[in-house]
Amino acid sequence: IACGNIHGAISKAAKDKAKIRARLDLEHIRTVAEKTRVPLVLHGGTGISPGDVRNAISRGIAKINIATAIRQPYEQSIGQGASAAARAVYDAATAVLVNDLKLQGSTQILLEGE
């Protein structure tokens, strides 16, 4: 759904920089969710504040895409070899999972495997 989010790094020149901060139109999310009654996907989720993510979820967002959070560490480390890039992707994905699960109050899921 387009709601003030920003999809991916804006340009190749900005690929190593933090994304511009999104300003979500939360009422637009609610309206689209009510009208369509389908789960909504928020593209460009990397860098959206935790408060905005919680608010978006409460208004109908069911899935959040965060490729930039994983792609940038990969691109920054691939010059050091495939193993370094794989480690960077693993570390970035782990951080995203931990932060997202904390955000949704689901950290117990991580602890069940221990």
H or E element at residue 62: strand 61-64
pLDDT digits (tens, 9 = 90+) for 21-40: 778 899 999 999 999 999 99
- Cβ atoms of 15 and 9 within 8 Å: the answer is yes
pLDDT digits (tens, 9 = 90+) for 86-99: 999 999 988 887 77
Q: What is the mean pLDDT of the chain?
A: 82
**What integer pLDDT is reported at residue 15 of this predicted model?**
62
